């Protein structure tokens, strides 16, 4: 049996633990020697590397839709710190370095988050949809992924998206960040926008692309272990030459994603036997 954490035994310690963790987390960002991106410009860079969009509202959560409305509010508040952000050569993008003060003047609203393995509500809930979107567009660039964490559990089916399964990036202030570093000689820029139903993300650069990236899945595997159901899948990066021929330059497995499934799988999905 897994031992309980001290804050689970004594819940009144949790606010103190969180303050301590946040203090150490942001002190670490200030002292780690990285130059973090912070410059936003109204002028967009010339070349689009990749763009995507996904629905903001998930109707399969089982919670009141007010939390989906709150999530959209939180996403738009956060986007103010990231839209048109330029990641210059040698700079590192940190999700929390930018998100930290997004609610400085206007507080985040209550949204859905997973805490201690349970889906619940708290201010700022739903921001993982932004980190998921950013990670997806970063995978289509030569930026170096420094830190990424997959969700440990999917509590409900994913909304429609052009991203394959297993492409996500959970964030938790003080604990889990999303970071990428620009090890190239070129600038990259994030652009984020919204319509009535969707959030849209785009990554731009200042040089004409010579290659195009396509991210695909290997065959997903579903299995039962200790009365829980898990999903495992390979995330594969294919790089093609830009132009009419689209010749394959390289193909490699980026990582193998594993997470628990917290909802009823469709009947056509068979569970593998794991020894």
**Ramachandran category for residue 134: left, alpha or beta (phi over 0 → left; psi -120 to 50 → alpha):** alpha
Interatomic CA distance for residues 12 and 14, integer angstroms: 6
pLDDT value at residue 275: 62
Is residue 10 very low, low, confident or very high in pLDDT (cuts 50, 70, 90)?
A: low
Interatomic CA distance for residues 174 and 161, integer angstroms: 28
- Residue tagged 């990036």 (tokens): 169
User: Tens digits of per-residue pLDDT, 30-39?
Assistant: 999 999 999 9
Look at residue 250 and tell me whether its pLDDT is greater than 90: yes
pTM reported for the whole predicted model: 0.91
Interatomic CA distance for residues 57 and 48, integer angstroms: 26
CA pseudo-torsion sign 66, 72, 77, 81? positive
């Amino acid at each position: 049996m897994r031992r309980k954490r001290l804050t689970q035994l004594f819940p009144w310690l949790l606010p103190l633990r969180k303050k301590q963790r946040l203090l150490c987390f942001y002190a670490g960002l200030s002292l780690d020697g990285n130059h973090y991106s912070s410059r936003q410009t109204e002028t967009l860079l010339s070349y689009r590397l990749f763009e995507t969009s996904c629905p903001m509202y998930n109707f399969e959560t089982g919670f009141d839709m007010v939390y989906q409305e709150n999530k959209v509010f939180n996403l738009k508040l956060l986007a103010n710190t990231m839209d048109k952000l330029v990641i210059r050569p040698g700079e590192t993008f940190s999700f929390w370095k930018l998100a930290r003060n997004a609610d400085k003047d206007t507080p985040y609203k209550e949204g859905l988050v997973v805490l201690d393995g349970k889906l619940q509500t708290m201010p700022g809930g739903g921001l993982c949809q932004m980190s998921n979107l950013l990670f997806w567009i970063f995978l289509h660039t030569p930026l170096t992924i420094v830190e990424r964490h997959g969700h440990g559990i999917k509590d409900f089916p994913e909304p429609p998206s052009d991203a394959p399964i297993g492409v996500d990036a959970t964030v938790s202030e003080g604990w889990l960040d999303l970071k990428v570093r620009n090890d190239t000689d070129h600038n990259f820029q994030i652009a984020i926008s919204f319509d009535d139903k969707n959030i849209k993300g785009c990554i731009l650069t200042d040089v004409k692309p010579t290659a195009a990236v396509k991210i695909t899945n290997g065959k997903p595997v579903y299995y039962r272990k200790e009365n829980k159901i898990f999903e495992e899948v390979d995330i594969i990066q294919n790089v093609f030459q830009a132009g009419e021929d689209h010749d394959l330059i390289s193909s490699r497995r980026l990582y193998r994603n594993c997470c628990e499934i917290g909802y009823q799988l469709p009947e056509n999905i068979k569970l593998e036997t794991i020894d």
